Structure 1
Amino acid sequence: MSVSAPHRPAEIADPRTAGPHVPDDEGRTDRTHRARRAGRAHRTLSRLGPGDREVLWLYLLTRVGIWTTAGVVGWLFRSDGNARRPASPLAPWQQWDWTHYMHIARDGYFPGQAGPWTAGWDNREAFFPGFPLTLRAVHTVVPDWAAAGALISFLAGGVAVLALARIARLRLPDQDAGRRTVFFFLLSPCAVFLAAGYTEALFLALALPAWLAAQRQNWRAASVLACLACSVRVTGLFLVAALVLHFVLTARGRAWRAAPWLCLPALAPALYSWYLQTRTGDWMAWKHAQERGWYRDFHAPWEAWANTWEAAFHHTQPTGYALMWQAELLAMLIGVVLIAVLVRGRRWPEALYIALTLWALGTSYWYTSVPRSTLLWWPLWTALAAWSLRRPRLQSAYLYVVGPLGITVALTFLTGRWAG
């Protein structure tokens, strides 16, 4: 309490005659809470070690590079060759799947009672709701849809590279393992999709921390993060399968009490299927939409390979599409080799994750988006980092050979052509 002047009520202290201020309990408590919050913030920042900061610096440099490329595209590759003004820096990013995500976020899945029964339907229910819901939420703060999508991918990508680097450091003994892994990842041929308003960055920002939590036996965190990842992409279900196998192989004693948590990730796809059933009467409406719009009906693996080979090499498609189907075949082969490497190293959960991914992508009419899916194969990037530790020249070869391929894919996508 303050010291009051004579003949005044104690609660009306005269500042001219009051003694030194003594903080009351409420003020002391408030300052204590602020100090604790500041301490927590400081501890959070201090957890970013030198390796983490180096990884984030590498990430920021590559973001500058990819956005510079997008800006150049706006100047050099205008659809109107006589244009006197460059396109908006965001215009090159509004391609392909982005329009589906934006339409879902803006209008919902079935606007105006439209749906699969409507002529010219865009099959938007093929896309899981996690990214569109996030986009709609961010749009309340960022009015431009494309800017909102770019912001989501930018922030999510930063989380993803930090988690990837920490996974690598757990896996590999070398202190440079995190930086090397992120180097290979950020210069991969399809890295442009980490900056686009697509699902890859957001999925990895959830899936990689989930895997990292599982390595540390934190099954509650792993399950919650995997549940969120399942709301973004169906690939989350393959992650869950890997988590369950990892749990079975590593759980001991009381750790089995956490087993029920591994049922949680099924909630996200179950809720989405229930929602679609209430609107369309079809529990698997998302799968049937993929079949209608992207030829993802089931075919034997050898049939899918043959159909993709024909599109790639038999001159039945325009050259741009044929080249991308050649990339699909190459990515599938890389995936098969990766499974063999993981099996040889007895890394069964990661092998299961890659195998399920390849089965899903390799049993359609033809391969679609296999190269882009390589971004989600974290064992590939840690394997390349491990290999480069034994073969130092590999890193330079990757930079000079694969780097230009990444620029080519980026230009292909940013100019509106099919890529990845």
Structure 2
Amino acid sequence: MSVSAPHRPAEAPRSWPAPPGRPTGPRPRPSLRAPRWLGPADREVLWLYLLTRVGIWATAGAVGWLFPSDGESRRPASLLAPWERWDWAFYLRIARDGYFPDATGPWTVGWDNREAFLPGFPLALRAVHAVVPSWAASGALISFVAGGVAVLALARIARDRLGHADAGRRAVTYLLVSPCAVFLAAGYTESLFLALALPAWLAAQRRNWAAASILACLACSVRVTGLFLAAALALHFLLTARNRAAWRSAPWLLLPAVPPLLFSWYLHAWTGDWMAWKHSQERGWYREFHLPWEAWSHTWTAAFGHTQPTGYAFMWQAELLAMVAGVVLLAVLVRGRRWPEALYIALTLWALGTSYWYTSVPRSTLLWWPLWIALAGWSLRRRWVHGAYLYVAGPLCTTMAITFLTGRWAG
């Protein structure tokens, strides 16, 4: 064989016969496509997610122009300003200053009870802020990325559960247009928790207990609801473990208990109180234990007893309605013998329904993935459900978004 020399004229490439069944002709150029693990249904869900993000951020921009804090202002607030509300201030202070800056704590007058918030989201916020200069942009970025992961996992759970190609898109639609969906875009914990909890549940459905436990462990560092998820995973394991090989995975189910134990140890080291998290909840948010009917009575009085301004009374009414929806969902799950999901919802309702009054129940509906799957299944059986839900939930979603973005109490 001879080697090519400099200035050798180009030769036409040799033509070799193509293997049987293989197309001939020039090889097509590579194109920019989604990863192979994203199927057409997944890409449709992501497009839906992106479109709703455009809508919610357009609403935030409009709020900045239409409802400025100063009625005489000639310039709108920054696009990120409406998102820096309520719980965001706690996450920001923890991420920036820690839990007990300058040796302050519950013993300090005017203490903000920040130890009521678990460290998972503040740690993620601090990590992202190392790259993104703006704290508010860091929080929004976490929720944006986490929300995309969450809707993909929800769609796959719904398709596996209902066995219908359209089930995933419907479940995701109902989540993204739900009344409190604004919190999925805010620098709050809902999106990050779902991005961990839903893949954990998906892994459990596929009997990958190591992955499910690791993800649930991370979810437990974000919200206390992670413990309810861990209980549901444990029950699901007990109901599905059929042989000795499956039981070898049982120790993994202890992993989600690690973050709460470490956080309690950390708080005890600073405060001398193993129950510091619970006591901060009681001081700041009236979450001392009350019987369920007492909590209902107190919330009913706040909602309809003309003891609160109308804006707050409306939100107490939303709390009652969300609690009723949760009880109905629990009944549906029990009737369908969906015991692990029923346990998750039951523990959530018990935790939310045994305080002085209900707080953040509407926001918690975002974490009730069995609700969105149940609605998807119902809409596939009854065609009118889809339109009816969108016509009712859509305006409520916009109302709640404007309420939150203008600094009023929401969810």
TM-score, normalised by the number of residues in structure 2: 0.92
- Residue of structure 2 in register with 1:335 after alignment: 326
C-alpha separation in 1, matches of 2:392 and 2:129: 39
C-alpha separation in 1, matches of 2:280 and 2:304: 28
The alignment status of 1:127 with 2:117, answered yes or no, reads: yes
C-alpha separation in 1, matches of 2:144 and 2:378: 29
Aligned match for 1:75, one of 51, 59, 65: 65
- Residue of structure 1 in register with 2:28 after alignment: none
The alignment status of 1:277 with 2:268, answered yes or no, reads: yes
Q: 3-state DSSP class of the match of 2:345?
A: helix
Deviation at 1:142, TM superposition (A): 0.5
Letter in 1 for 2:84: Q
Q: Could you report, residue by residue, the CA deviation over 1:116-151 in whole angstroms, capped at 9, with x for unpaired residues? A: 000000000000000000000000000100000000
The alignment status of 1:265 with 2:222, answered yes or no, reads: no
Question: Percent identity of the aligned residues?
Answer: 79
Letter in 1 for 2:304: F
C-alpha separation in 2, matches of 1:347 and 1:134: 33
The alignment status of 1:319 with 2:310, answered yes or no, reads: yes
Aligned match for 1:346, one of 337, 342, 345: 337
- Residue of structure 2 in register with 1:179 after alignment: 169
- Residue of structure 2 in register with 1:388 after alignment: 379
C-alpha separation in 2, matches of 1:390 and 1:136: 46
Q: Could you report, residue by residue, the CA deviation over 1:72-115 in whole angstroms, capped at 9, with x for unpaired residues? A: 01111111111010100000000000000000000000000000
Aligned match for 1:237, one of 192, 207, 227: 227
The alignment status of 1:375 with 2:366, answered yes or no, reads: yes
Q: Could you report, residue by residue, the CA deviation over 1:252-299 in whole angstroms, capped at 9, with x for unpaired residues? A: 111000000000110111111111010111111111100000000000
C-alpha separation in 1, matches of 2:282 and 2:33: 49
The alignment status of 1:215 with 2:205, answered yes or no, reads: yes
C-alpha separation in 1, matches of 2:334 and 2:290: 26
C-alpha separation in 2, matches of 1:70 and 1:182: 22
Q: Could you report, residue by residue, the CA deviation over 1:298-340 in whole angstroms, capped at 9, with x for unpaired residues? A: 0000000000000000000000000000000000000000000
Letter in 1 for 2:101: P
- Residue of structure 1 in register with 2:238 after alignment: 248
| 1:161-172 mapped onto 2 (5 Å cutoff) | 161-172=151-162
Deviation at 1:394, TM superposition (A): 1.0
| 1:21-40 mapped onto 2 (5 Å cutoff) | none
C-alpha separation in 2, matches of 1:195 and 1:346: 33
Aligned match for 1:301, one of 271, 292, 298: 292
Q: 1:43 to 1:82 in 2, by over 3 A?
A: closer
C-alpha separation in 1, matches of 2:102 and 2:408: 31
Deviation at 1:43, TM superposition (A): 11
- Residue of structure 2 in register with 1:90 after alignment: 80
Q: 1:44 to 1:65 in 2, by over 3 A?
A: closer
Q: 3-state DSSP class of the match of 1:142?
A: coil
C-alpha separation in 1, matches of 2:387 and 2:48: 16
C-alpha separation in 2, matches of 1:78 and 1:378: 36
Aligned match for 1:52, one of 38, 42, 50: 42
C-alpha separation in 2, matches of 1:142 and 1:270: 31
The alignment status of 1:159 with 2:149, answered yes or no, reads: yes
C-alpha separation in 2, matches of 1:318 and 1:311: 9
TM-score, normalised by the number of residues in structure 1: 0.90
C-alpha separation in 1, matches of 2:33 and 2:251: 32
- Residue of structure 1 in register with 2:99 after alignment: 109
| Gapped regions of structure 2 (runs ≥ 5) | 7-31
Aligned match for 1:137, one of 127, 131, 140: 127
C-alpha separation in 1, matches of 2:176 and 2:357: 27
Letter in 2 for 1:292: R
Deviation at 1:44, TM superposition (A): 8.5
C-alpha separation in 1, matches of 2:95 and 2:408: 24
Q: 3-state DSSP class of the match of 1:83?
A: coil
Deviation at 1:398, TM superposition (A): 1.1
C-alpha separation in 1, matches of 2:408 and 2:339: 37
Q: Could you report, residue by residue, the CA deviation over 1:196-253 in whole angstroms, capped at 9, with x for unpaired residues? A: 0000000000000000000000000000000000000000000000000000000111
Letter in 2 for 1:271: L
- Residue of structure 2 in register with 1:195 after alignment: 185
Letter in 1 for 2:308: Q
Deviation at 1:399, TM superposition (A): 1.2
| Gapped regions of structure 1 (runs ≥ 5) | 4-14, 17-41
Structure showing the higher helix proportion among its residues: 1
